[in-house]
Amino acid sequence: MSQPATLLTFNVSRLDQVDFKAIDDWLINTFEIALVPCGASEQYQDGSCEKMIVELVWRILHLTSRLLQGVKIPAFDAGRVLKVSAADQNASQFTVVTAIPFIDSMPADVTKTAYWVALQIIVNAVKNQHSSEYLHTLLDEIDKSFIKPMSKKIATGKSTLPILIAVYDKKIPFRHLGDGCYQLGWGHKLKLIQISTTEADSLIGAKLSNNKFISASVMRAAGLPAPQHIMVSTEKEAIDAAKIIGWPVVVKPLDLNRGEGITIDVNDEKTLIEAFNLAVKLTKATSVLVERHILGVCHRIFISGGELLYAFKRIPKSVTGDGIHTVAELIAIANAKENVKLPWKRSKPFPTDAMAVENLASVGMTLDSFSQEGQFLPLRKVESTEWGGIAEEATKIIHPDNVDITIRAAALFGLSTAGVDLMSVDISQPWHENGAVINEINFSPTFIAELSKPYRPIYIDRILSDDGRIPVEVFVGGDAALDIAKERQQKMTAEGVKCYLSSHELTLLPFGEQLILNTQSLFDRTIALLMNRTVEAILLVIQTDEFLHCGLPIDKIDKITVVNNEIKDWNNHNRASKTRYNELTRLLNEYTLPTQLN
């Protein structure tokens, strides 16, 4: 496996005949799940109930992985089927033992529910209940009963899963610490991230950047182009501010990002009061900003590690004319394309409401108008979290001077990662020639789903210089295994490696002194060492069948040395059976190459 694991055991009813090809076609067309052959099924006879159960569970594991990702839980490895055996004399039920990805600090009920839902879906698929009508009802029910309620239990941001996918693809180990914060890498190589924020980001800078009034003042003082605005607390103050600044104006909350609560192109007092009240309703502050309207479009410049990562133009929710269809038909086509996606992967609907009609009128169009090919047809004035929008790649056209001021702005606030919004009529022109300004600077910016995909690995490379791994070797057996592991530790320490050793009972520092830890399990001791920034290598001495109860805390073993089979039962401390010993070594082999088992 390529992720730490825990064991899951459940019962499955006997099967007589299953059309796995039909199920596989359904899984790939519906959930985009492309299965690889299940290695575990090779040990069972063709046509046997056991083999069919293994194949069935293999599909349940893959579907569960996809469902968990739907609620932003990074379970990327589907898992393994370890054992199948008859649960009764009639073999009407089979007990299945699986190894599944273990993600720390995640609600257990979410994971258990995901496996139950996947089981029900696959069982229904076996019964050939995958007609188009059934499928539509099924997906809506999954979204309503599982995805939406379970997502509320998971503390994470929109960027977390895309980043962790890049981490997983680069074979970097990760662990959830809680509240959406993840540890990347082990020991002395580890780094911490939360959404797109890293431990290199300044907490003070984050606080300053979250206040648009203060951040603009700081940028102006540093010689950077920033918006001119006035902070107001009443409707009268807002009107007075607009008269001072000059119409049109922009009204925005003091402390929100991603276009939330913003009203642009305000030209009269009535609209101003409505915009003021909207911003007041959404902000946690007591004041809002009335700002001079700036010509141009907002461009998000994503800075990481003091360099440009990528840039894009933030286009409002809109459709593009094709010279054939009316605007209403174009909107219907756009919504139809979204509706073929899984419900939880769809973007915000393309609206036909009064606001859409108003914005279309601003370009001389109605819902019944026929458009010209390539014509821009706005349904909203700005791109925002509430309404969505379109991201247009701009990385290759942004002028170097514009890159320079955004890098300087991020450094000014001590932010290694920042989303700098630059208002510009043409981002390929330098800011000092076309009046562009830095509209705001965003702490922990969101990675745009598809557009950011090629840039995520680069972002990870700027956090970790390699795969973040340290050597992990395992020694299996009784006291003799501990003695051999100590010899290995002495050798590695002599070579200048800060090598730590641990069994379930004790943990040793590089020179053999005992490290006192508040735990009495090898699983927890291993986690403690993986979180220790001084550790450069780990030697684990496995003397019990503990990992058969709780799974492994690591996703890779560099080398296994089996000294003897003198392991103890974790529950009663008696010698474990040969069966338990074989199950343990089999589990360990899932995390290392078979040729490395001595």
* Beta strand residue intervals within 507-550, DSSP E: 507-508, 537-542
The pair of three-digit structure tokens given for residue 77, joined into one six-digit string: 């490895």
Residue at which a domain ends, from 340, 362, 379: 379
Q: Per residue in 277-329, pLDDT tens?
A: 998 888 888 889 998 988 899 999 999 999 999 999 999 999 999 999 999 99
CA distance 74 to 65: 8
pLDDT at 18: 84
Q: Over range 337-365, report the average pLDDT.
A: 93
249 and 322 fall within a common domain: no
Does residue 303 form part of some domain?
no
pLDDT at 233 over 80: yes
Q: Per residue in 41-90, pLDDT tens?
A: 888 888 888 888 999 999 999 999 999 999 999 999 999 998 898 888 77
Q: Per residue in 457-487, pLDDT tens?
A: 999 999 998 999 999 999 999 999 999 999 9
In this structure, what DSSP letter does residue 575 have? B
pLDDT at 594: 43
Residue at which a domain ends, from 259, 293, 327: 293
Q: Return the half-sphere exposure (C-beta side, CA atoms, 13 A cut-off) of residue 197.
A: 17
Write the CB contacts of 325 (distance below 8 Å, at least 6 apart in sequence).
Answer: 333, 370, 371
pLDDT at 386 over 80: no
Residues of the chain with pLDDT > 70, as a percent, come to: 97
**What DSSP assignment string belongs to 420-477?**
EEEEES-TTS-HHHHT-EEEEEEESPPPPTTTTGGGHHHHHHHH-SS-----EEEEES
**SS3 (DSSP) at 515:** coil
CA distance 176 to 161: 12
More confident residue, 260 or 523: 523
Q: Which CATH number belongs to the domain containing residue 542 in this structure?
A: 3.40.1190.10
257 and 346 fall within a common domain: no
Out of 224-228, 373-377, 400-404, 589-593, pick the least confident: 589-593
Out of 219-233, 293-307, 371-385, pick the least confident: 371-385
pLDDT at 136: 73
Does residue 131 form part of some domain?
yes
pTM: 0.89
25 and 128 fall within a common domain: yes
- Tell me if 15 sits within 8 A of 49, measured CB to CB: yes
CA distances to 28, 132, 138, 149 from 144, in Å: 22, 18, 10, 7
Helices 108-126 and 132-142, axial angle in degrees (round to 10): 170
Residue at which a domain ends, from 379, 394, 413: 379
**What DSSP assignment string belongs to 89-148?**
TT-SEEEEEEEEE--TT--HHHHHHHHHHHHHHHHHHHTT---HHHHHHHHHHHIIIIIH
10 and 146 fall within a common domain: yes
Tokens 């089927």, residue located: 81
